Amino acid sequence: MSERPNLKVVVDNKARERKISRPDEPSHNDLLQIILGFAISLPLWGLIGWIIWMWRTGQV
């Protein structure tokens, strides 16, 4: 049980070192994730909206 906190400290230190060594990467990664999220979710929501619209107009 006493080894787990030590492991977490090591992981935290590695993450901190990674952030210090490459400070410009996280912001670029976040931007890429946002763009990819929009690129994936926008057509998906369009498809869902189109299906709902077709279903509503077909029934009414």
Q: Helix (H, G, I), strand (E, B), or coil: what is residue 41?
A: helix
pTM: 0.39
Whether 19 and 26 have beta carbons less than 8 Å apart is answered as yes
Range of the domain at 40: 3-59
What is the per-residue pLDDT for 59?
67
Whether 13 and 5 have beta carbons less than 8 Å apart is answered as no
Q: How many domains, in total, are found in the chain? A: 1
Q: What is the pLDDT of residues 27-41, one digit of tens each?
A: 678 889 999 999 999
